[in-house]
């Protein structure tokens, strides 16, 4: 068994790199949105023509980005959705809802202070983590059955 | 043709009432989440037993609320998603993503200052409105073909 | 058995009225797009705000109209797609493809001179008619088993 | 991430070759209908037997071609639909509708004079291009995040 | 609970009438193909124009009949497929396969001498009956829990 | 909003009656399997002919019962699965898995001593109750927003 | 583009071998049912235990064979259904209906004398052939665009 | 044709190893849940944080395990569900129901004394075996058409 994983959400920290590096050696493939903020905002007008109106500037870009995002989520076995500490991050919650309706397994990664505001998103998740390392351990366990080093489990 | 409409999102203003009243006389039915904030937060523990841990307190409630929300969206022809001026509102964006993956027609209702942050949600919508009255006019046009009073349209 | 029928395509002649009147007494319901050309073109800007750019003017309207069209096709048992003698009529062919992918029963109504250009659309249809009266007779037969008056059928 | 792309529509110019060549080096695979006009028209009767009636001559061919077209669209992540300057091109619009109902990402490629007549098709697209080079740039960005050379993007 | 039932297959005996009459008083609705053999064969050409070639004569009719058959099966909770003693009856087996792929509950009604030849069809059925009265008793039990008069059942 | 509810599982106590009576006045409809144990075991052979082999005796009955069960679950918005204190009850767990794969909202009703053995079933549920009264209260809240009498909720 | 093809139906002549050999060099893979008649009839009881009753003997075998048949059709892009000159061949018609409901491209291969009896099956097909060589030519054209040697096509 | 097989159920005997070894040389791939009982029970809390309440301890683990189980069943062509002699084994029956609703081919493996209690599960299966060797022989026959050594089959 291998897993295809889509890494959705916050683009300002290195959480994706931490997960990809932590998962080295596992039978996993990763996809993600374009994480270059400027390119992501401007891709529509840079390729398809300028728009004086900011709404359509954003709209053209969001639709081009949707080609990649939809493909990434549709192909995924697991969607990891990261909520950072700042910004509205409605695109992350949107991806979570989209993935939930497609029946994808969802792992949410968020700081504990967002717990109450994320309760509806958590209700659609199979795991809620606070650190990228926990996400890696979930993937490792799912693929190999191995628990984190130092954890002993006792059957009842 | 009649339309079943789910009104998702912000629960602190009377936007739902404005739409329901404005749509009087149209062939529409409306559904919505439980909008009593306290009941919505506590329904899980009130019915199924207390939880000392806030996460599980919230989780139990969010899952009970999901019974209503999923039914409401699944039955809907149109999902109106309202973003207010405050709070994280990740549940609204989650509903929008969920509705998008199911192929529902989406109308987003938000103040203009949220435009940039909502661009991925807007990219999945068929209409973006700033006022409840505009939502009503969209519904009226879709059902009857009538444009707002005072609007003249000229065929080319 | 009753049939819900969506009448897609050309809006410049009274073919819809002919079918609706001809089908009087049958267990049928009909839906159609908004056929007021001016309203259909301008609905987006009339309700949601003017656009100086013609592309976005058209886009806003086409997306609002899509709410009605998608609902009409999704609910239909039979989609009748009418191609008239003039104009590009790409929206009609688009509706036919959309209906085909959803597995709807399709009846195409077109003048004989369009036969070659419509061969891919015809290949997805269960009936190809040249007159609204033929469409009515197909509906009458499907619902009641009755052939047109004056037609005698002999079993082999 | 790789993309499978179906190139639908106009067969009289070399737009497909331009896209395939432009996309050299990207992780893409392309499919397309049979673009030999004569073979495409006559395949049914050439293989399965002559038909004196032009309608059935065309019908047999259109159905054989449908085997290839349906496979091509069903397998595609992205469907590019090209409208040229001449002919009815209802097959292109039909493919666009078919792809839209399957939830495929659609890129429309058309000359600007067709903008108004294509507004319903555009409403189902994630990108609207005027040149094959723009289609290539969309694919490059979606796969690599790279914007066209000479385009600078500035994050807000 | 009510059941919508499609009665597919043999059209030369009164098995449909026996089932409909036997089911009087149950919460059931029935649909069926057009059972007038001559009308069913000729409907295509009678409405849409004569065909000198017998294949296309038949084809036009079969496609018009398909509008009714697909609707009947798509709406059904239970599809009863009757095989009589004579003829090829490939349409009956085709309907059974079509219904099986849609996940419909299938009841097969056939004389015992066809048992071996129908084993693949039986493998997709939830009940195999030899008489219309048995079909009625299955429907009565499914809807009311009542077993046939004179049958005593003893719990273990 | 109304809810269609399927009551699956244990047939030896009056839990179904308690829920139906408790839900009086709510906009709900209920379905359930045949709960007459003897009839349920023998329906196949009583209608379709005796089987000397106990396996096929049981098989014929289980397949006839499946007509009702599949219809009941397919039509349901909510599936309540009750596990009693005795017996294997694999049919209840089977129904829960079947409902889960169809995306139904699941409420599990079981005595606390079965908690550990049911953890995989609970992981697919939106509510886990210990008494029929709790199930009623969940339904009442979902439909009306009302919490149980005596429960006070305080918004944060 | 490659094609996966399921070869359903008659098992008494070498039509499968003719198609497989004729298609040498094309990008195709073939699947088929077990065509050893004796093994196919007896597989159930040979592996899972004898049945004195012929119905259950057949049933056990038909269900084991269904594992292979369902997989073969589910994976196929094209289902070729062969009707020979003898026997009931209801399994072939059942496969055709099953494939039709899944939206598979269907090619029917039958002698001309069965034309009328197969009209409902033909109505679901994209090609109707009389010889295995024609099936090969359809596959060759679909994959390569090449018409049979000696056939000249002239564009209009 | 190759088969992907998910081995669900009992984890206390070596039935999985027997099947995997017996199937050596066949074109099969196998998946299974984590079969280390202690790890399976504790994975949730070991990775995502301790829970003092046994229900949530179990719940966290069951949800993490669900990532693997859902992937395994979703990818499978055949789901083998093993019921052992002891324990409730509701997770096995749940997997069977889940697989049935997805249309997977199901093979049930159980000791004969559980026959009556499993009749609803058997009604959704294509084969019911008592030994791992029988499961291997079913797989061998499905993939190669070969019956067990020493079994002679005679066509009728």
Write down the pLDDT at residue H87.
Answer: 87
Within chain E, where are the H helices? 15-22, 37-48, 54-75, 90-101, 119-122, 132-144
Write down the pLDDT at residue F150.
Answer: 72
Write down the pLDDT at residue H62.
Answer: 98
Chain F hits for A103, CB-CB cut-off 8 Å, are 103
Residues G77-117 have pLDDT tens digits of 999 999 999 889 999 999 999 999 999 999 999 999 999 99
Range in C5-14, G129-138, H129-138, H144-153 with the lowest mean pLDDT = H144-153
CB-closest option in E147, E155, E156 to F43:
E147
- For chain G, the distance separating the N- and C-terminal CA atoms, rounded to the nearest angstrom, is 28
Residue H142 touches partner G, C-beta closer than 8 Å: yes
pLDDT at H155 over 50: no
d(CA D77, CA D103): 9
SS (H, E, C) chain G: CCEEEEEEECCCCCHHHHHHHHCCCCCEEEECCCCCHHHHHHHHHHHHCCCCCHHHHHHHHHHHHHHHHHHHHHHCCEEEEECCCCCCCHHHHHHHHHHHHCCCEEEEECCHHHCHHHHHHHCCCCEEECCHHHHHHHHHHHHHCCCCCCCCCCCC
Closest listed residue to residue A121, CA positions, set A91, A154, A142: A91
Q: What is residue C77's three-state secondary structure?
A: coil
Residue H56 touches partner F, C-beta closer than 8 Å: no
Q: What is residue B78's three-state secondary structure?
A: strand
pLDDT at A156 over 90: no
pLDDT at G156 over 50: no
Closest listed residue to residue D109, CA positions, set C101, C118, A47: A47
d(CA E55, CA E69): 20
Percent of chain B predicted with pLDDT > 70: 96
Residues H88-127 have pLDDT tens digits of 999 999 999 999 999 999 999 999 999 999 999 999 999 9
Average pLDDT, chain F: 95
pLDDT at H63 over 80: yes
Of the residues E119, E126, E128, the best mutation for testing chain G's interface (the one with the most G CB atoms within 10 Å of its CB) is: E119
- Shortest Cα distance, chain G CAs vs residue E115, angstroms: 7
- Shortest Cα distance, chain H CAs vs residue E68, angstroms: 27
Contact F90, H28 (CB under 8 A): no
Write down the pLDDT at residue F156.
Answer: 40
Residues F98-131 have pLDDT tens digits of 999 999 999 999 999 999 999 999 999 999 999 9
Residues B28-76 have pLDDT tens digits of 999 999 999 999 999 999 999 999 999 999 999 999 999 999 999 999 9
Query: Cα separations (Å) of A154 from F44, F117, F118, H37, H39?
Result: 47, 17, 19, 8, 8
Chain B hits for C68, CB-CB cut-off 8 Å, are 1, 142-143
Residue A133 touches partner B, C-beta closer than 8 Å: no
DSSP-assigned beta bridge partners for residue D106: D79
Residue F24 touches partner E, C-beta closer than 8 Å: no
Of the residues B45, B56, B62, the best mutation for testing chain H's interface (the one with the most H CB atoms within 10 Å of its CB) is: B56
d(CA D80, CA D110): 10
- Shortest Cα distance, chain G CAs vs residue C21, angstroms: 30
SS (H, E, C) chain A: CCEEEEEEECCCCCHHHHHHHHCCCCCEEEECCCCCHHHHHHHHHHHHCCCCCHHHHHHHHHHHHHHHHHHHHHHCCEEEEECCCCCCCHHHHHHHHHHHHCCCEEEEECCHHHCCCCHHHHCCCCEEECCHHHHHHHHHHHHHCCCCCCCCCCCC
Which sequence spans correspond to the domains of chain D? 3-35+77-144
Low-confidence ranges of chain D (pLDDT < 50): 154-156
Percent of chain A predicted with pLDDT > 70: 96
Chain A hits for F103, CB-CB cut-off 8 Å, are 103
pTM value is: 0.96
Q: What is residue C13's three-state secondary structure?
A: coil
Residue D32 touches partner A, C-beta closer than 8 Å: no
Q: Which residue of A has its CA nearest to D124?
A: A63
Pairing relation of β-strands C3-9 and C78-82?
Answer: parallel
Q: Which residue of F has its CA nearest to A100?
A: F103
d(CA C56, CA C42): 11
Closest listed residue to residue F129, CA positions, set A103, B63, H96: B63
CB-closest option in F38, F47, F63 to E155:
F38
DSSP-assigned beta bridge partners for residue D30: D5
Write down the pLDDT at residue E152.
Answer: 56
Of the residues C62, C94, C129, the best mutation for testing chain D's interface (the one with the most D CB atoms within 10 Å of its CB) is: C94
Residues A54-79 have pLDDT tens digits of 999 999 999 999 999 999 999 999 99
Q: Which of residues 77-96 of C touch B (CB under 8 A)?
A: none
Residues F48-94 have pLDDT tens digits of 999 999 999 999 999 999 999 999 999 999 999 999 998 899 999 99
Average pLDDT, chain A: 95
Touch between C and B (at least 3 CB pairs under 8 Å): yes
Q: What is residue E9's three-state secondary structure?
A: strand
pLDDT at F155 over 50: no
d(CA D141, CA D151): 12
What does the block give as tokens for G131? Answer: 């010889």
Closest listed residue to residue D24, CA positions, set D125, D143, D108, D127: D143
d(CA E64, CA E48): 10
Write down the pLDDT at residue D152.
Answer: 56
Residues 6+ apart with CB under 8 A from F111: F83, F84, F85, F130
Chain H hits for F33, CB-CB cut-off 8 Å, are none
Residues B83-93 have pLDDT tens digits of 999 889 999 99
Average pLDDT, chain G: 95
d(CA C117, CA D37): 13
Chain H hits for E116, CB-CB cut-off 8 Å, are 156
Asked if the Cβ–Cβ distance from C148 to E31 is below 8 Å, we say no
Contact D109, D6 (CB under 8 A): no
Helix (H) or strand (E) run with residue H80 in it: strand H78-82
Residues F11-40 have pLDDT tens digits of 999 999 999 999 999 999 999 999 999 999
d(CA H148, CA H38): 38
Low-confidence ranges of chain C (pLDDT < 50): 154-156
pLDDT at H36 over 70: yes
Closest listed residue to residue E81, CA positions, set E68, E98, E64: E98
- Shortest Cα distance, chain E CAs vs residue G143, angstroms: 27
Percent of chain H predicted with pLDDT > 90: 94
pLDDT at E3 over 50: yes
G113, burial (CB in 10 Å: exposed 0-12, middle 13-18, buried 19+): exposed
Within chain H, where are the H helices? 15-22, 37-48, 54-75, 90-101, 119-122, 132-144
Write down the pLDDT at residue E156.
Answer: 40
Contact H13, H128 (CB under 8 A): no
Domain H3-35+77-144 class?
A: alpha beta
DSSP-assigned beta bridge partners for residue A9: A82
Write down the pLDDT at residue A155.
Answer: 42
Residue with tokens 């003897």: F38
Residue with tokens 């009649």: B2
Q: How far is CA G55 from the centre of its chain?
A: 25
Touch between D and E (at least 3 CB pairs under 8 Å): yes
Write down the pLDDT at residue B152.
Answer: 56
pLDDT at G58 over 90: yes
């Amino acid at each position: 068994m291998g897993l295809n994983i889509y890494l959705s959400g916050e683009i300002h920290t290195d959480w994706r790199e931490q997960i990809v590096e932590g998962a080295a050696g596992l039978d996993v493939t990763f996809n993600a949105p374009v994480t270059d903020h400027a390119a992501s905002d401007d891709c529509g007008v840079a390729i398809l023509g300028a728009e004086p109106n900011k709404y359509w500037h954003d709209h053209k870009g969001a639709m081009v980005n949707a080609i990649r995002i939809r493909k990434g989520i549709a192909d995924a076995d697991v969607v990891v959705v990261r909520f950072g500490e700042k910004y509205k991050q409605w695109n992350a919650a949107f991806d979570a809802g989209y993935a939930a309706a497609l029946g994808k397994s969802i792992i949410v990664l968020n700081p504990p202070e967002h717990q109450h505001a994320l309760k509806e998103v958590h209700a659609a998740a199979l795991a809620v983590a606070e650190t990228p390392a926990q996400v890696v351990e979930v993937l490792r366990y799912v693929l190999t059955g191995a628990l984190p080093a130092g954890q002993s489990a006792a059957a009842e």
